[in-house]
Chains A and B, each alone.
With several copies, the nearest count.
Chain A
Amino acid sequence: MKKLINTPESVVSDALLGIAAAHPDLSVDHINKIIYRAEPTPAGKVALISGGGSGHEPLHGGFVGLGMLDAACAGEVFTSPVPGQMLEATKVADAGAGVLHIVKNYTGDVMNFEMAAEMAAAETGVEVVAVVTDDDVAVQDSLWTAGRRGVGVTVLLEKVVGAAAEERRPLADLAELARTVNRQGRSMGVALTSCTVPAAGKPTFDLPEDQIELGVGIHGEPGRRRVPLAAAREIAAMLVEPVLADLDFTGGDPVIAFVNGLGGTPLIELYVLYNEVARILAASGVQVARSLVGPYITSLDMAGASVTLLKADDEILRLWDAPVRTPGLRWGV
């Protein structure tokens, strides 16, 4: 395993020290592994909190700041944070208007956030509402499984709902908006290589030179099937088609198209992929109104990419365009 780390055990706390050193706008509670805005949440603003296993940077800590999250909890690599962290983050960020928990749909994340909400109800008067993202069409959704994974749409949701929160909308509205964004977003990912979890010290799975893993998540979980390595154009089709098959994006609604890098794939390849995705979308009658290309929700050093489409409307686009100042996304301010 070759990584720029000190020890597998210290990678999360070391990275948090780096984030604190690099971003004076942010405060870091190194004991509880919480990143929060240096400026307290303004009175009357609902606080947005997210969190999850580490290894997906810039998600979530890199999305703390004006226009997105108020605080983020960092778990161990690929391991959901513990309820105590989320409870602390909830207390730190609450400014009296309640707290929205943004939870990616993984058994661990959901259960830990659930326990945090139970604790918050028991120990504090803070009103907490949780919304769960589950946009990954690679996973068959059913009542009998853990359901779909939350992946790329989480980034878009944190941006859109974060902007709405800055407008002092009430908790219930924000939760509704968040559910809408999640409902209207779909994703699909592909891995060219495995990632290597620092504590494991070797790649999570072996992938021959001529094969790719289709339908991966963001934790090095194997995907749904292996297919031969193909040209970007074909891979784009393998990613976009299941997304379009799952939700109709062709109704003329403005769409936000997001090509995400999984950590080990450089930008030049993401642009090659974006070109193919844009071509397919244009041919399918999908109207792309905004785009985002880059590594925003990663899976350690995995080479690969994911495609997320979000069916927006004027209001969501307005919120997307609204000012944001975080380490990961920054514009308009």
Chain B
Amino acid sequence: MTFTEPTTVDVAAFDRWIRAFARAAHTHKELLTELDAAIGDADHGANMDRGMTAAVAAVDAAAGFDSVAALLKCVGLTLVGSVGGASGPLYGTLFLRMAAAAGTGAALDAADLARLLTAGLGGVVDRGKAEPGDKTMYDALAPACAALTASLDSGQDLAEALAAAALAADAGRDATVPMLAHKGRASYLGERSIGHQDPGATSVALLVRAAATTLVPAHG
């Protein structure tokens, strides 16, 4: 454990996060599409890539943001307005709820961040009604939120907590493999959904990994 000043996460940090996630979605477009081809309709890669490309473009087009909320709202609205499918409303709501929870400030502290992500998770649940074990993005996002909160509560710093969250998201993603899908397109397959990794949980793991690598400035 390292002792540092309480980290603040500012608009620039969120901006890095969005761009890093957009790059990850682009890099892993084919993986996401292949996972979706197995138990869905082969578009999750295209959806996330299109949405995050549009989000970055919208962020670029705006003349800067004076609050974290404004940036997150811009991303959320762009996702709602450009993705469609299940992931559009779900990711869109995730970001819009984070925005709503972000107040008006230009920077947040670590606890705020955990609160934001948890609010976002709540939005995903409100919109999609997913429950644990349904084999959805929830199954990666919920453990990530829990790990982030627990890690901070136990006194770890934000970098450590985000690293823990990323590991939890990865584990949650991997845990979707043996699940029987109860929500989304994969549920149409019944037993045949077992043995496949959920595409939405996979993109969520990318999202959390991107947070871990961008929200905290590198030491030094």
Contacts and interface: CB of A to CB of B under 8 A. Distances in A.
A82 B41 contact: no
A116 to B, nearest CB: 10
B43 A77 contact: yes
Contacts of A115: 80, 89
Contacts of B190: 140, 224
A256 B171 CA distance: 50
B152 interface: no
Interface in B174-188: 181-185, 187-188
Contacts of A271: none
Interface string A46-80: 00000001000000000000000000000111111
Contacts of B90: 111
A96 interface: no
A113 B181 CA distance: 23
B33 A80 contact: no
Contacts of A79: 41, 43, 46-47, 83-85, 88
A286 to B, nearest CB: 26
Contact of A76 (B37, B40, B50, B86): B50
Nearest to B34: A200
Interface residues of B, number: 35
A224 B86 CA distance: 21
A153 to B, nearest CB: 16
A106 interface: yes
Contacts of A220: 37, 41-42
A82 B80 contact: yes
Nearest to B184: A107
Interface string B46-86: 11001000000000000000000000000000001111111
Contacts of A111: 86, 88-90, 127-128
A146 B187 contact: yes
Contacts of B86: 80, 106-108, 111
Highest count of chain A CB atoms <10 Å: which of B84, B87, B88: B84
B189 A112 contact: no
A234 interface: no
A112 B83 CA distance: 10
A84 B80 CA distance: 8
Highest count of chain B CB atoms <10 Å: which of A75, A83, A205, A222: A222
B161 interface: no
A278 interface: no
Interface residues of A, number: 37
Contact of B84 (A75, A139, A146): A75
B18 interface: no
A78 B41 contact: yes
B146 to A, nearest CB: 23
Contacts of A112: 84-85, 88-89
Contacts of B89: 83, 108, 111-112, 114-115
B37 A205 contact: yes
B43 A145 contact: no
B183 A82 contact: no
B83 A82 contact: yes
Interface string A211-242: 00000010111101100000000000000000
B156 to A, nearest CB: 35
Contact of A82 (B37, B39, B81): B81
A146 B189 contact: no
Given A107-B183, A108-B89, A220-B41, A53 B84 contact: yes
Contacts of A305: none
Contacts of A144: 182
A204 B199 CA distance: 14
Interface string A6-22: 00000000000000000
Contacts of A263: none
B189 A222 contact: yes
A45 interface: no
A177 B128 CA distance: 27
A112 B190 CA distance: 24
A219 B89 CA distance: 19
A49 to B, nearest CB: 16
A78 B81 contact: no
Given A82-B83, A112-B88, A146 B43 contact: no
A199 B39 CA distance: 17
A149 B188 contact: yes
Contacts of A140: 190
Q: Shortest 9 CB-CB distances between A and B: which pairs?
A: A219-B41, A108-B85, A111-B89, A108-B86, A145-B187, A79-B85, A199-B46, A107-B86, A79-B84
6 contacts: A75-B84, A82-B83, A108-B85, A111-B90, A146-B182, A204-B41
Interface of A: 53, 75-84, 106-108, 111-112, 114-115, 138-140, 144-146, 149, 197, 199-200, 204-205, 217, 219-222, 224-225
Interface of B: 33, 37-43, 45-47, 50, 80-90, 127-128, 181-185, 187-190, 192
Given A79-B41, A79-B47, A197-B37, 16 more contacts: A53-B41, A75-B84, A76-B43, A76-B85, A77-B43, A79-B84, A82-B83, A107-B184, A108-B84, A145-B181, A145-B183, A197-B42, A221-B185, A221-B188, A222-B39, A224-B192
